[in-house]
């Protein structure tokens, strides 16, 4: 068994973790969260999304959040999700240097989430990348429902591989594979990663796991043995998906760091500081911390 010597964690809590919260969160709280994550050693943080305010009201303060951060910090790359060229323009106005775009292997999920088919989503992404690339922006692509869709059921690994190749062809620098409803097990992940590896190097492939069935860490560990070394996670296990009934939060960053450190893999993250951050934001949100490491300590 071969494991990577270093793993990069992409912290998605400030965007993917907070977007589904019903109670408004103060902009200052979001900025403080991101700064605490930076202080704990996170080097890549997805801060917000420049989406229509009526779509995700919780992220209506995207501009204020981004302008409250130091985007020139060489130790941390701040990114933002953009759904279309209008979102890209708003991100550019704030000085964002890394963006993320989104699609799914399920037409139905795409329709529920972003109001268009897979093909239409690729057309939107192409318009974004065509404008962003000449400006030197780094582009991350998200693919959701890689294992199964809450509306269409199980999805074939080849669909994810095909879509991955299309995103790279459109100009993405990295693609994150999302088990949006958290139903995958290690054998599912292996089939998907093997299919993707035939289409593209795993060096720029990330895994994004939800922990609905408690399989996230098992899936991440198995992905590491297959050559994946970029992992998405969310502090305190924040998150969920408004378009996937029953889908719980993302895998907790604290638990992923504990696993990686236990395997002797470098992260550059201070686990104790991370635990403190997770406790603080959970208290601010009136939530119970969804990180096993925190609850055991």
**Active-site residue list:** 241
Task: Output the CA torsion 271→272→273→276 (10° steps).
Answer: 120
Report the half-sphere exposure of 112 (CA within 13 A, side-chain side): 17
Half-sphere exposure for 58 (CA within 13 Å, toward CB)? 19
Per DSSP, the three-state class of 10 is strand
Please give the Cα distance from 168 to 16 (Å, whole number).
22
Taking the mean position of all CA atoms in its chain, how far away is CA 213?
18
Helix, coil or strand: residue 269: coil
Q: How far out from the chain centre does Cα 251 lie?
A: 10
CA–centroid distance for 195 within its chain: 21
SS3 8: strand
Q: How far apart are CA 5 and CA 21, in angstroms?
A: 36
Angle between helices 186-197 and 216-226 (to 10 degrees): 30
The upper half-sphere exposure of residue 89, i.e. CA atoms within 13 Å in the direction of its Cβ, equals: 5
Backbone angles phi, psi at 81, to 5 degrees: -80, 135
Distance CA 61, CA 53 (A): 8
The Cα–Cα gap between 246 and 116 comes to: 23
């Amino acid at each position: 068994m071969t494991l990577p010597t270093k793993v990069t964690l992409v912290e998605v809590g400030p965007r993917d973790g907070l977007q589904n919260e019903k109670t408004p969160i103060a902009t200052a709280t979001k900025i403080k969260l991101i700064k605490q994550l930076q202080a704990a050693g996170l080097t890549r943080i997805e801060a917000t999304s420049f989406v229509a305010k009526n779509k995700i009201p919780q992220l209506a303060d995207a501009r204020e959040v981004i302008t409250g951060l130091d985007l020139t910090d060489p130790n941390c790359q701040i990114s933002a999700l953009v759904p279309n060229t209008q979102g890209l323009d708003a991100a550019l106005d704030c000085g964002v240097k890394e963006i993320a775009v989104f699609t799914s292997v399920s037409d139905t999920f795409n329709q529920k989430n972003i109001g268009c088919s897979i093909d239409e989503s690729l057309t939107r992404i192409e318009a974004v990348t065509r404008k962003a690339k000449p400006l030197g922006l780094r582009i991350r692509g998200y693919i959701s429902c890689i294992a199964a869709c809450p509306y269409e059921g199980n999805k074939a690994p080849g669909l994810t591989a095909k879509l991955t190749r299309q995103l790279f062809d459109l100009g993405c620098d990295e693609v994150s594979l999302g088990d949006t409803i958290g139903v995958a097990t290690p054998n599912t992940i292996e089939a998907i990663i093997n299919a993707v590896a035939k289409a593209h190097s795993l060096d720029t492939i990330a895994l994004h796991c939800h922990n609905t069935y408690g399989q996230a860490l098992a899936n991440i560990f198995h992905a590491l043995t297959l050559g994946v070394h970029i992992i998405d996670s969310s502090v305190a296990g924040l998150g969920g998906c408004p378009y996937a009934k029953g889908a719980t939060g993302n895998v907790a960053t604290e638990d992923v760091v504990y696993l990686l450190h236990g395997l002797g893999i470098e992260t550059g993250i201070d686990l104790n500081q991370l635990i403190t951050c997770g406790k603080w934001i959970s208290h601010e949100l009136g939530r119970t911390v969804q990180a096993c490491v925190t609850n055991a300590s």
